Amino acid sequence: MTAREKYLLKDYPNLKGEVKVAILFKVLGEDMALTMFKGKVSDDKLLRVKNRSKRIEYVAPALQRMIVEQYYNSLLTVDHTENQKKENEKLSDKKREIVYNQIFAFIGDLTSEQVFYLIKEEKPAVQALVIEQLDSTDRMDVLRRFDKKIRKSVMIEISEINNIPIDAIITLATELKKKSKKLPEPTEFKRGGKSSVENILRDLPEDEAVEFLKEIKKDNPVLHAQVKKAIFTFNDLIDGPQETNEKIWGAIIAHEDVDITKTPNIVSLAFKGVDEDIYERCVISLLTERQKAMYDQLSDTPVAKAEVMKARGQIRNIAYSLVPKEFTVDDIFEADMIE
């Protein structure tokens, strides 16, 4: 087994340039370190340094700061020319702020939700760098979207941002800007929540929706309480008292997608097999004498169950479209409330 390496502050005088670079890889993370040295160091040396960094188990914090500080002053001996030394001098806070304002300007055009999706797969150091560029409200909004463990890591990294070499920051900002152009518009994000659950249940066949509701009630009673009244079955639509039925079925029968003069039509198909008293209360009693003369109850016509269920699904969809313009969900569940 390869020995794990540990470096304390007292080891500093004996550290060679390559070891210092390996420590930088360890401290800053491989992705960020590669942005600093790619093109400046041969691929062979980069591979050797990466492998060396993986063997490093511990670096004393004071030694980490000293080596990062050295990098700012271009004291590392890894193929750096005098010109590169000058370019890598440590920037003042004022200069750093100017650089941030320029290279992270694109962040200001994104919503906090877009920022989250932009950085959610990045390392905590990168997440911290981007979050720090936001105003206080957006910063907290983005942080809350991460789980507690990641949030803690990001908070720690925010306190260490000044240790990130500026050329690495510029390279990362450039890559993130390119990536941001591929983000969906804010309206294209799927936000989940109870409304998404409701939409899924509404799209399911009635029997499947009922089964899912039972499972939700068993596993998550709170969610069940939130969505149960948003999902109603054909039976829910016909179970109310007379006054409520008139409001619900009067609106359904009058809907533009319902033509009771057709034979068959979705109302007569949906009520196939329903008790005569319920049929009378929900539909027949609401029709004019002229409508009754034209309406076919299909009482003597065999109808496949699949057609009946399809018609009931269409009635449910019409009812969903009528809430809350013509009647409310509470109207539908009034019978339950009376009980």
Residue 9 has pLDDT above 60, yes or no: yes
Helix (H, G, I), strand (E, B) or coil at 236: helix
Helix (H, G, I), strand (E, B) or coil at 79: coil
> Using the 8-state DSSP alphabet, how is residue 58 labeled?
E
Query: Around Cβ 118, how many Cβ atoms within 10 Å?
Result: 22
33 versus 309: the higher-pLDDT residue is 309
User: Residue 339: its pLDDT value, please?
Assistant: 39
CATH class of segment(s) 93-186: mainly alpha
Q: How confident is the model at residue 310 (pLDDT cuts 50, 70, 90)?
A: very high
Domain 93-186 identical in fold to domain 232-338: yes
201 versus 320: the higher-pLDDT residue is 320
Most confident of the following: 164-168, 196-200, 298-302, 333-337 = 298-302
What is the C-alpha separation between 319 and 234, in angstroms, rounded?
9
What is the C-alpha separation between 293 and 289, in angstroms, rounded?
6
> Using the 8-state DSSP alphabet, how is residue 57 labeled?
E
User: Residue 3: its pLDDT value, please?
Assistant: 65
Lowest mean pLDDT among 71-85, 192-206, 234-248: 71-85
What is the C-alpha separation between 56 and 40, in angstroms, rounded?
23
What is the C-alpha separation between 126 and 144, in angstroms, rounded?
17
Beta bridge partners of 7: 59
Amino acid at site 54:
K
User: Residue 76: its pLDDT value, please?
Assistant: 39
User: Residue 101: its pLDDT value, please?
Assistant: 62
User: Residue 336: its pLDDT value, please?
Assistant: 46
Fold annotation for 232-338: Annexin V; domain 1 (1.10.220)
pLDDT (tens digit, 9 = 90+) per residue, 312-329?
999 999 999 998 889 988
Q: How far is CA 140 from CA 112, 127, 180, 239, 250, in A?
A: 9, 13, 20, 48, 50
Instruction: List the domain boundaries for the chain.
Output: 5-87, 93-186, 232-338
User: Residue 137: its pLDDT value, please?
Assistant: 79
What is the C-alpha separation between 154 and 328, in angstroms, rounded?
46
Q: What is the mean pLDDT of the chain?
A: 80
User: Residue 98: its pLDDT value, please?
Assistant: 55
Region 21-27: mean pLDDT is 82
Beta bridge partners of 56: 5
